[in-house]
Amino acid sequence: MPVNMPQPKIKVAHFLSGRIENLSGGDLVVLNLLEYLDRSRFDPWVVSFNEARNPGDPLIIKTAQTLEVKTFTINARGRFDLEPVGDLRKFITENQIDILHCHGYKADVIGFLACRQSEVKKIATLHGWWTGRSLKLKFYNFLDYLAVRKFDKVIAVSEPIRGTLARRGIPPDRLLCIENGVDIKRAGAANGDRIRSELKLPYGKTVLGMVGRLSREKGHRYLFSAIQAMDDVILLVVGNGPLEAKLRRLAENLHIREKVVFVGFKPDVSDYLAATDIFVLPSLTEGLPLALLEAMAAGKPVVASDVGGIPTVIGDKKEGLLVRPKDPVALKEAITVLINDKDLAKRLTANAMELAGRRFSVEKMAKSYEETYTDIMG
């Protein structure tokens, strides 16, 4: 190629399962990356699933289109319908994709099968693990592990996940950690007063915030138990999911319905975080939760479970307070400490904001992915 000829853009297709009604943490990471990816060097796509029971484009597809990213939807009837393998293979060939970047167990498995006999480079980002004790979930994790062993690069979003993958035999030269990043400027420009007004939150009460899918691994039930005996607190629950009806019943049964405000899924949680006084994350397992990083960037004191990638971000009594998982008493005590000790809360908040800006900016994350894409193409 002549020296003065521009280099062709690297075509990267992000491949992931999508939901009609919301965006997962992994979806949001991809969208953040797409917003900051250097379009002069990279030509991105988003490829997602449209299951027959939920016709229409997944929300990740619709949101990517607002960022002027090209998209493609694949129809899939069930969790392991293999017809999408051929559809994906055809898409990759017709659009001359250079890199298939998979997110999630289904994308990993189908992506591996679609690219087995092609020269397309394969990358998998592991945002966390499927949780639960069922044989089905263990089987999904096992299939995911078998698939990603054959990928050119495997990216963990936290050091604990990287350690697990290394112990499972992923070669060190193909394994790296790229931590999630958040938009620091957006967090600083959020308007919490508008949300407090819209939700008619009473003055004089401490507003606790929790952001996450309404599912078992997020530990909502333990936070509900923690606030049962607490006066002058309101809990904003941002998110939706399979346990919504059950959690609403639990709030009624614990007689805390007037303390809990369910606001549903919000694609941008910055204003809701700005409306809170304390961010609480009582998860049972985590990779590197985006909501935690957003709360840190927003200047909110944090109480979080000492699980997964959380302690790699939050040092106890340094950037926040860490508690044992499944422990409502410890949650209550930590929240009470932050309510009563304003100086401690300010110190933890300042430390967390500094760390978020230095280590978890979306610009830093995007640069790391760009370097990985360039490196894998040689």
Asked if residue 371 and residue 342 are part of one domain, the reply reads no
Asked if residue 310 and residue 225 are part of one domain, the reply reads yes
Asked if residue 336 and residue 301 are part of one domain, the reply reads yes
The whole-number pLDDT of residue 55 equals: 63
The whole-number pLDDT of residue 52 equals: 57
Q: Which residue type, as a one-letter code, is found at position 316?
A: D
Indicate whether 4 belongs to any domain. Answer: no
Asked if residue 265 and residue 198 are part of one domain, the reply reads yes
The whole-number pLDDT of residue 133 equals: 61
Indicate whether 1 belongs to any domain. Answer: no
Asked if residue 143 and residue 74 are part of one domain, the reply reads yes
Asked if residue 222 and residue 86 are part of one domain, the reply reads no
How many domains does the chain divide into? 2
Asked if residue 369 and residue 345 are part of one domain, the reply reads no
Residue 32 belongs to a domain with what CATH number?
3.40.50.2000
In this predicted structure, the answer to whether residue 370 has a pLDDT above a threshold of 80 is: yes
In this predicted structure, the answer to whether residue 186 has a pLDDT above a threshold of 90 is: no
Contact 232, 205 (CB under 8 A): yes
Asked if residue 205 and residue 325 are part of one domain, the reply reads yes
Question: Per-residue pLDDT tens for 322-332?
Answer: 999 999 999 99
Q: Give the phi and the psi of residue 37 in degrees, each rounded to 5.
A: -65, 140
Asked if residue 175 and residue 227 are part of one domain, the reply reads no
In this predicted structure, the answer to whether residue 188 has a pLDDT above a threshold of 90 is: no
Of 189 and 164, which is predicted with more confidence?
164
Share of the chain above pLDDT 70, in %: 94
> What whole-number distance in Å separates Cα of residue 94 and Cα of residue 41?
20
What domain range includes position 61?
10-181+361-376
Asked if residue 136 and residue 18 are part of one domain, the reply reads yes
The whole-number pLDDT of residue 63 equals: 96
Beta bridge partners of 122: 100
Indicate whether 208 belongs to any domain. Answer: yes
86-95 contact pairs (CB < 8 A, 24+): 86/114, 88/15, 88/47, 88/114, 89/114, 89/115, 89/118, 91/13, 91/47, 92/13, 92/118, 92/120, 93/118, 95/11, 95/13, 95/45
Question: Per-residue pLDDT tens for 69-109?
Answer: 999 999 876 655 678 899 999 999 999 999 999 999 889 99
Contact 43, 74 (CB under 8 A): no
Asked if residue 136 and residue 197 are part of one domain, the reply reads no
Biggest alpha carbon distance in the chain?
73
In this predicted structure, the answer to whether residue 54 has a pLDDT above a threshold of 70 is: no
> What whole-number distance in Å separates Cα of residue 123 and Cα of residue 5?
28
User: Exposed, middle or buried, 48 (CB in 10 Å: 0-12/13-18/19+)?
Assistant: buried
> What whole-number distance in Å separates Cα of residue 375 and Cα of residue 152?
11
* Average of per-residue pLDDT across 294-322: 97
Indicate whether 3 belongs to any domain. Answer: no
Asked if residue 41 and residue 143 are part of one domain, the reply reads yes
The whole-number pLDDT of residue 320 equals: 99
Share of the chain above pLDDT 90, in %: 81
> What whole-number distance in Å separates Cα of residue 265 and Cα of residue 213?
8
The whole-number pLDDT of residue 318 equals: 98
Indicate whether 122 belongs to any domain. Answer: yes
The whole-number pLDDT of residue 189 equals: 80
